[in-house]
Chain A
Amino acid sequence: MPTLEFEGNTFNVDEDGFIDDFNNWNEDWVKYVKTTEGIEELTDEHWKVITVVQDYYKKNGIAPMVRILSKVTGFKLKYIYELFPSGPGKGACKMAGLPKPTGCV
């Protein structure tokens, strides 16, 4: 598993750039992923999505369905794509430090 250095942190990531363990997440990770996910400036709205995703994951052990993410944040899917151009799975979940989405993707 490749490791990468960013602002004094060491992160273990897989080929898709997902972090190996949710517990190794910190705010620098978000700053790092920003550079690869087409995000120029991190806003409060980015953080809102990230926090919602993380809270849901801590509570339920899975990522929220898109519908639930939209409902809780109040952001329509289109707007989530404006915030995270790769979408809620590859973009927001990766940034939030969640495990990689699986299944028929």
Chain B
Amino acid sequence: MAFEPNEPQEKIKYDEMRIYSDEELNNYTEEELKNFKTKHDTPMCDDLESGPWPSFVADAKREALHRRKLADDRILLSAETVEDTLGQLEDSFVDGETHWKHGGIVGVFGYGGGVIGRYSDLQEKYPAVAHFHTLRVNQPMSKFYNTDFLRTICDLWEYRGSGMMNMHGSTGDIILLGTTTEQLEPIFYQMTHEMQQDLGGSGSNLRSPSCCLGRARCEWSCIDTQDMCYELTHYYQDELHRPAFPYKFKFKFDGCPNGCVASIARSDMSFIGTWKDDIRIDQDAVQAYIAGDIAPNGGAHAGKDWGKFDIQKEVINLCPTACMWMEDGKLMIDNKECTRCMHCINTMPQALRPGADTGVSILFGAKAPILEGAQMAVLTVPFMKCEPPYENIKDLVEKVWDWWMEEGKNRERLGELIQRWGLPKFLEVIGLPPMPQMVTEPRSNPYIFWKAEEVPGGFKRNIEDYRVKHMR
């Protein structure tokens, strides 16, 4: 199904938007780069130019030289921003401590987040990074780009920022690294008015949602992760731009249990695609795997000789529920015992496919250690259909938010609130009956709470009635 934007979109044409000429973009030679000396001596940084991995120091030096050779009126920040960044980093390497000041509160009017303010604590030594704010820019779903967009944003950032970026922040945003307070509104204006591009989230709000690449190019995706992520990002713009929550909240969308965007570990509300009918088996392809005509795991282990593919050893015996077997040369699966772990499908992608009756499992509460310890998400909704416009999903989201916004303490993640109040309360809030699928094992301690109405006679008792039978 082709992508349908929520609002008409103009195609960005770099040739109409560009700021720099080709000559300006290619304004140095490799020879010049070899002889280029940055403003500060950075022996420890320089060390990181050796070795086979792409070096961020080498890249930064290219950018530094490039900026040096641009005319003064062709960039609005100092030409030395990159060099001062390296200089301050070198000082940090020497001192073993950061040289950024605490915090920073900057932003654009109308929004409560999206910009991470930062100031150097060595402003006299490195004036070009005295202000070094970061902008979070909401990324397209699954980070598919065309060069027109990327070149346009690069030109804008070269002109009004440091020219340095992080592609991408771990939450998903395009990160524009380093600019001054005065440039924030102009950058925001140009992004919104000329590129139809918004900021991402920061602060106690809905952060930029992100998804795996889903049906765009994966045969296992049980849901259209991109469509869902895009729809919910748009639908909850207010929650994303204006912090109204007790703390941050993240959505992530995985098309299947392989978890390519790690939603189960990195989002408060994790959507994981799954199916509830049978795994689809192509028996001829199974035979081709057994015969060695198709490499297992799409050839992922080709770097080492693991011997001939052995379906018994590599698939059947590794199935966590042992629900597979061979019968008359055919692969059989007892689907009602399958937990949809993806192992057999991962191993024989040309022979096995997820079922056709698909939906999502929804898990809640993943977070990093602070304050109460790290948590992965807890399975709460085993299966839910999910079709545009995702009304059932939005209903659920809002039930969760209503409760957390009311009961959540200051800076308490959803996972901690669920811990504090208990899963039964959470189930009550979202209107689901408890199910065995929601626990790995039943509790082992006997501290079991009952509601008064569940106990015959309730909790109000008179000690005198008791004394009639039990003398003191």
Measuring CB to CB, which residues of chain A are less than 8 angstroms from any residue of chain B?
15-16, 18, 38, 62, 65-67, 77-78, 81, 85-90, 94, 100-105
Contact = CB atoms under 8 A, between A and B. Distances in A.
Contacts of A66: 204, 243-245
28 contacts: A15-B104, A15-B119, A16-B105, A16-B106, A18-B105, A65-B246, A66-B243, A67-B246, A77-B242, A78-B238, A85-B110, A86-B107, A87-B107, A87-B111, A87-B112, A87-B242, A87-B243, A88-B112, A90-B105, A90-B106, A94-B105, A101-B103, A104-B202, A104-B203, A105-B113, A105-B117, A105-B202, A105-B203
Category for how many chain B residues contact A: 20 to 34
B53 interface: no
Contacts, number: 66
A90 B343 CA distance: 50
> What are the 7 tightest A-B residue pairs by CB atom distance, in nearest-first order?
A87-B112, A85-B109, A16-B105, A38-B109, A105-B203, A77-B244, A90-B105
Contacts of A86: 107, 109, 112
B205 to A, nearest CB: 10
Contacts of B406: 67
Interface of B: 101-107, 109-113, 116-117, 119, 131, 202-204, 238, 242-246, 248, 405-406, 410-411
A38 B185 CA distance: 12
Q: At the interface, is chain A mostly helix, strand, loop or mixed?
A: loop
A8 B101 CA distance: 30
Contacts of B117: 16, 105
Given A87-B242, A104-B248, 8 more contacts: A16-B106, A66-B243, A85-B109, A86-B112, A100-B105, A102-B103, A104-B203, A105-B113
A94 B112 CA distance: 13
Contact of B110 (A81, A94, A101, A105): A81
Contacts of B107: 86-87, 90
B105 A105 contact: yes
Nearest to B248: A104
Nearest to B246: A65
Nearest to B243: A66
Nearest to A103: B411
